[in-house]
């Protein structure tokens, strides 16, 4: 039985690969793609989600736009990483995938209440949409199987010294999600930086020899150039697909239960995820915190997904 899930994203280069993995993998039933302001403005993130679905041949999955700014702070985007369009690199034509008429929060509420089984939410951007859903529609909580989010870190941040982007853009939203009492899994930078897009990984995509694979190469090449310029990392971490991979096969991502608090008032640390790995605070565990990724199997999954969407044999894939 495929796992019903909703991907809430801010495409974004790594979000684009998360969309492809979520749409392609047979273990998942992708009910909807919702967008949130983060890497770029909401309108661009939404256009980018429709563009990715178009080039990947993903049809029949509603794409709905959500919140255009964090709960409290002004929006801060990551155009230094994702470019002016939010998805610089490939040349995209006009999307053929339509925009759903409903707001993302309303669509998510309706899908959750209507679905016969509880649904997994996979946020890979700021948590504004998810927090708004939980705040305004508490009746949906029993229909949420778990929340597997890309965000936070057991160590340092990337937007501020201790703030990871998805959390630091909307700390109030993240705080609400981590305090919701729902099953939350945190896929933080400490794990996503194990999934580096090395030249060998790029070669595996290029070897697929399809237009979609070429678009992925262009996306990852741009992403890598930005990471080298900003962080001195030529091989960029492909953050967001790891959250999807965890839903597909939990054995890919080793986690431990721990208390996680979101810092809201620290003069220098607002937006940090404070992960009490050694249980020093006496606080109860409120999240599964990812610590280790099976990197080889992760890349097999992502390359295989792009191959299946483009209908070609994955060159270099395991026999």
Q: Which residues are catalytic?
A: 239
Torsion of CA 96, 238, 223, 52, to 10 degrees: 0
DSSP tag of 250: G
Structure tokens at 297: 């199997």
138 to each of 40, 47, 167, 177, 182, how far by Cα in Å?
A: 28, 29, 22, 12, 11
As to burial, measured by CB atoms within 10 angstroms (0-12 exposed, 13-18 middle, 19+ buried), residue 281 is exposed
Stretch that binds ligand RIB, among 40-48, 157-165, 194-202, 219-227 (CB under 6 A): 157-165
Residue selected from 8, 15, 146, 172 as contacting ligand RIB according to rule CB under 6 A: 15
Binding mask 232-271 for ligand RIB (x = CB under 6 A): -------xx-------------------------------
Nearer to ligand RIB, 273 or 310 (CB): 273
Binding test (CB under 6 A) with ligand RIB, winner from 89, 125, 259, 304: 125
Tell me which stretch binds ligand RIB (CB under 6 A): 11-19, 88-96, 100-108, 261-269.
11-19
Q: Does 128 bind ligand RIB (CB under 6 A)?
A: no
Closest by CA to 18, choosing from 4, 33, 29, 31, is: 33
Q: Would you say 140 or 166 has its CB closer to ligand RIB?
A: 166
Report the distance separating Cα 31 and Cα 101, nearest Å: 15
- CA–CA distances in Å: residue 184 to residues 54, 140, 309: 31, 15, 29
Instruction: Round to whole Å and give the CA distance between 258 and 188.
Output: 13
Which residue, 80 or 296, has its beta carbon nearer to ligand RIB? 80
Question: In the bound complex, which residue of the shown chain has the CB atom lying closest to ligand RIB?
Answer: 165
The yes or no reply on residue 164 touching ligand RIB (CB under 6 A) is yes
Residue 109 vs 193, nearer CB to ligand RIB: 193
Residues that bind ligand RIB (CB under 6 A): 10, 12, 14-15, 38-39, 124-125, 150, 158, 164-166, 239-240
């Amino acid at each position: 039985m495929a796992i019903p899930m909703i991907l809430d994203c801010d495409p974004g280069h790594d979000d684009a690969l998360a969309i492809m993995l979520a749409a392609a993998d047979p273990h998942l039933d992708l009910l909807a793609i919702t967008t949130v302001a983060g890497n770029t403005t909401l309108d661009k993130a939404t256009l980018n989600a429709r563009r990715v679905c178009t080039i990947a041949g993903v049809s029949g999955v509603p794409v709905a736009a959500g919140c255009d700014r964090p709960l409290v702070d002004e929006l801060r985007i990551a155009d230094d990483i994702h470019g002016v369009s939010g998805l610089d690199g490939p040349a995209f034509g006009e999307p053929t995938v339509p925009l759903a008429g409903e707001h993302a929060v309303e669509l998510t509420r309706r899908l959750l209440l209507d679905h016969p089984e509880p649904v997994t939410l996979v946020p890979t951007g700021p948590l504004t949409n998810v927090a708004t859903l939980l705040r305004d529609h508490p009746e949906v909580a029993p229909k949420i199987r778990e929340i597997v989010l890309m965000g936070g870190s057991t160590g340092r941040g990337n937007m501020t010294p201790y703030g990871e982007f998805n959390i630091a853009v909307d700390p109030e939203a993240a705080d609400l999600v981590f305090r919701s009492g729902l099953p939350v899994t945190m896929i933080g930078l400490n794990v996503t930086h194990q999934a580096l897009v090395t030249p060998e990984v790029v070669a595996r995509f290029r070897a697929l020899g399809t237009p979609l694979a070429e678009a992925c190469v262009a996306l990852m090449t741009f992403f890598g150039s930005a990471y080298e310029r900003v962080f001195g990392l030529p091989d960029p971490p492909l953050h967001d697909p790891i959250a999807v991979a965890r839903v597909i096969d939990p054995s890919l991502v080793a986690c431990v239960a721990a208390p996680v608090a979101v810092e809201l008032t620290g003069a220098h640390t607002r937006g940090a995820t404070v992960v009490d790995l050694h249980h020093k605070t006496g606080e109860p565990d409120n999240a599964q915190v990812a610590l280790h990724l099976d990197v080889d199997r992760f890349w097999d999954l992502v390359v295989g997904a792009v191959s299946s969407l483009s209908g070609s044999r994955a060159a270099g894939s395991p026999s």
